[in-house]
Amino acid sequence: MKKVLFFLLCNTVLFTTVFSQTFTNSIAIPSVLTGTNINLSVHTGTVSFYPGFNTNTIGFNAYNYLGPTLMLNKGDSVHINVSNTMADTTTVHWHGMHVSPSNDGGPHTVIPPGTTWSPKFKVRDDAAMYWYHSHLHMLTAEQVTKGEAGLVIVKDPIEAALTLPRNYGTDDIPLVVQTRAFDAAKQFDAMSAIDSVVLINGTKNAFVNLPAQVVRLRLINAATMRLFNFGFSNNATFYQIGTDGGLLAAPVSMTRLRLAPGERAEVLLDLTGMQGQTIYLTNYGSQLPNGYYGAPNPAAMGMATIPGYSSNGLNGTDKNLMQINVAAPTASPVTTIPSSLTVVTPIPQSAANFTRTKTFTPKTMGGGAGLNGPFVINGQSFDMMVINDTVPFNNVEIWNLTNNTAIAHPFHIHDVQFYIIDINGVAPPANMAGRKDVVVVPSQQTVRFITKFENFADPMMPYMYHCHMLAHEDDGMMGQFLVYDYFAGIKENTSNSIFAKAYPNPANVSWNIMVDDVNSIKSVELSNAIGQKVESVKIVTNYDGTISINNNNLSSGVYHLKVNTTKGIATLKLIKN
């Protein structure tokens, strides 16, 4: 097993034809961390991707780029210590995993330098490959591009009962596929369209030796912006067995697999009888429709306006990404493709309680905004202080995603896995019929999905939804939502037995606060989610033992009320819809 995720590399950056690239570096396989107590240390480092240059990077534990694979079992309760030894603040998000918002690692859960964040959660997810990465607001693209990411593989009894390759690093291979842009000093440039350098597991110009049998490739598009159209140079048929969040009902045969940033897929490739042959994992960019980043033209209509896009040798062309050398089979090879995998039961549309609509538009029109962004969702750019949606606990919802921009956007939602209902009115292809947490919304089209917001509710800590093109996310193409248990209500924090209760809460126009003795009130203070006092509201103390607070002019979000009385202090959490 390889102990590093990087190599000294000196080959050319751009390809010329699909077969001309030389692949001289054995692919790195990230080591595995198992158990229920896991320690991760995020740190800066350097890697020599080019001779004579040290590129500044971010890695976890022993790695200067990327990190180890966490191997978890469904049903286990895990405790993860994430120590930040960098000089900069960061976060670590468990992408695709169903955890409480306080454990999710979104932009609100920052890890300052020199501190440790210690999430604890039960693994509720089905067997699949998930991942962890930075989610720091406005710096996600920079930190992830530098390498702050790693894989999570969840195992469960259903997957374990199938005859599948699972000898990690031999016939079960994780493939973290990325493209990167380098500036003249050979430093990463997260915002450049010249992302023409391919890294797989942090290895440039990678090759892998695979046995002549059925092998399992766990693919993730971890690029900052680019969509991939995967296939093999011999046009081999392969079989997708898993999506973002679990197994499909049965393997789906294909010769091309399109993945957007953040999406994952597990595929089986049958190399039986091919010992001694060489094939390539290939990106068939020439076959991407216009309107996708990586296609001949990233705009669905008109001319490309992304600076440098047309000069990038990966765009609109077919390029080999990794060389596969077929070696001798193992002692106990898997030689068959299973006919069925698991039972997949999508949520019926009739179960939906609510439908939400999210519309993607340029923040400003004209001047190439349709391609370059920034982009917004429902006309709003992301604001840490604004809660865009409040979702009732246990709600089953349909989300309509409409893309009114000129370029496709991969939409990702935290907390839940969903089932795609249709893409522009057409049922999803069979390989997208399983559990998903990322879906591409093509230009001028609408995608609908259905999901259930269960297990976790928190009146204070939000989950996120956003475009997973990291530059778009950082530019504001993101929103946040609270999952709120209306039946549980708001828990009061009081001293000296002071009683206080808010109703309605959440509220659209005003809150009423009931206290046990209005004459004991000394002061009432309202503050926002980050502790800033709100001066712009009128707080009225009534003689009937209530306090009225008009919130009509407040932004949606979470607020804190402190009622200071002669008997003690009561604090309440208030939500403005």
Query: Which domain CATH number covers 267?
Result: 2.60.40.420
Residue range 391-418: average pLDDT? 96
**What pLDDT digit, counting tens, does each position of 430-481 carry?**
999 999 999 999 999 999 999 999 999 988 899 999 999 999 999 999 999 9
> What are the tens digits of pLDDT across the range 253-285?
999 999 999 999 999 999 999 999 999 999 999
Q: How confident is the model at residue 1 (pLDDT cuts 50, 70, 90)?
A: very low
Which tens digit of pLDDT belongs to each residue from 109-162? Answer: 999 999 999 999 999 999 999 999 999 999 999 999 999 999 999 999 999 999
H or E element at residue 120: strand 120-122
Tell me which of 418 and 363 has the higher pLDDT.
418
- How far is residue 571's CA from residue 256's CA, in Å, rounded to a whole number? 57
| 435 occurs within a structural domain | yes
> What integer pLDDT is reported at residue 499 of this predicted model?
58
Whether residues 436 and 400 fall in one domain: yes
What is the mean predicted confidence (pLDDT) over 85-89?
98
Q: Which pLDDT band holds residue 197 (cuts at 50, 70, 90)?
A: very high
Tell how strand 539-541 and strand 546-550 pair up: antiparallel
Question: Do 444 and 300 form a contact (C-beta atoms < 8 A)?
Answer: yes
Our CA angle for 262, 458, 100, nearest 5°, is 40
For residue 465, the model assigns a pLDDT of 98
Residue 424 within a domain: yes
Same domain, 213 and 318: yes
pLDDT digit string, tens, across residues 295-304: 999 998 766 5
- What single letter denotes the amino acid at residue 527? S
- Does 453 reside within a domain? yes
Cα angle 487, 492, 497; round to 5: 130
Q: Does 167 fall in a domain?
A: no
Cis, bond preceding 506 (omega within 30 deg of 0): yes
Is residue 363 within 8 Å of 381, Cβ to Cβ? yes
What's the average model confidence in pLDDT over 396-415?
97
Of 439, 462, 484, the position where a domain reaches its end is 484
Q: Is residue 170 part of a domain?
A: no
Distance CA 542, CA 510 (A): 14
Whether 525 and 557 share a structural domain = yes
Amino acid at 493: N
If asked whether residues 293 and 338 sit together in one domain, one would say yes
Q: Hey, is 502 helix, strand or coil?
A: strand
| CB atoms inside a 10 Å sphere around CB 577 | 16
Give the residue ranges of DSSP H helices in 16-102.
Answer: none
Around Cβ 184, how many Cβ atoms within 10 Å?
7
CA angle, corner 198, sides to 155 and 52, nearest 5? Answer: 120
Per-residue pLDDT at 365 exceeds 80? no
* Residue 44 bridge partners (DSSP): 58
Over the chain, what is the mean pLDDT? Answer: 90
Give the gyration radius of the chain's Cα atoms.
Answer: 25
Report if residue 25 sits inside a domain. Answer: no
pLDDT of residue 398: 98
367 has pLDDT over 80: no
The better pLDDT of the pair 419, 511 is held by: 419
Phi-psi region of 455 (alpha: psi -120 to 50; beta: other; left: phi over 0): left
Residues 149 and 55 in one domain: yes
> Is residue 418 assigned to a domain?
yes
Q: How far apart are CA 456 and CA 449, in angstroms?
A: 20
Task: Tell me whether the omega of the peptide bond preceding residue 374 falls within 30 degrees of 0, making it cis.
Answer: yes
Compute the average pLDDT of residues 338-343. 98
Range of weakest confidence among 45-49, 370-374, 414-418: 370-374
User: Domain tally for the chain?
Assistant: 4
Structural domain boundaries, residue 249: 11-19+184-342
504: cis peptide before it, omega within 30°? yes
Q: Does 100 score more than 60 pLDDT?
A: yes
Amino acid 545: pLDDT = 64
Residues 572 and 469 in one domain: no
Rounded Cα gap, residues 557 and 459, in angstroms: 10
Question: To the nearest whole percent, how much of the chain has pLDDT over 90?
Answer: 75
Q: Do 531 and 572 sit in the same domain of this protein?
A: yes
> Which whole-number Å values give the CA distances from 216 to 38, 61, 73, 172, 238, in the listed order?
26, 26, 19, 5, 10
Structure tokens at 236: 């081999």
Query: Do residues 443 and 473 share a domain?
Result: yes
pLDDT over threshold 90, residue 402: yes
- Same domain? For 324 and 355 the reply is no
Task: Please provide the DSSP assignment of 278-331 as one string.
Answer: EEEEEEEGGGSPTTSTTSS-SSSSS---STTGGG-TTTTSEEEEEEEEEE---S
Instruction: Kindly state the average pLDDT of the residues 337-343.
Output: 98
- Cα Dmax for the chain: 89
Residue scoring higher pLDDT (524 or 270): 270
Q: Which of 484, 510, 532 is at the close of a domain?
A: 484
Helix or strand holding residue 521 (H, E): strand 521-528
Measured between its terminal Cα atoms, the distance across the chain in Å is 52
Question: Based on the domain organization, do 213 and 272 belong to the same domain?
Answer: yes
**Residue 97 resides in a domain:** yes
Task: Compute the average pLDDT of residues 202-213.
Answer: 98
C-alpha span between 95 and 437 (Å, rounded)? 9
How many residues does this entry show for the chain?
Answer: 577
Residues 316 and 404 in one domain: no
pTM of this structure: 0.84
Give the tokens for residue 437: 């947490």
Exposed / middle / buried, residue 112 (Cβ in 10 Å: 0-12, 13-18, 19+): exposed
Cβ partners under 8 Å of residue 276, min gap 6: 326
Q: Which of 22-36, 43-57, 234-248, 298-312 shows the lowest mean pLDDT across its residues?
A: 298-312
- Domain end position, chosen among 423, 450, 484: 484
Number of Cβ within 10 Å of residue 332's Cβ equals 8
On whether both 479 and 355 belong to a single domain, the answer is yes
User: Which pLDDT does position 289 carry in this prediction?
Assistant: 94
Burial class (CB in 10 A: 0-12, 13-18, 19+), 140: buried
Mean pLDDT calculated for residue range 47-52? 96
CATH of the domain at 554: 2.60.40.10
b/e per residue, 248-265, with b = 16+ CB within 10 A? bebbbebeebbbbbbbbb
Angle (nearest 5°) at CA 223 between 220 and 227: 80
3-class DSSP assignment, residue 125: coil
3-state SS track over 448-462: EEEEECCCCCCCCCC
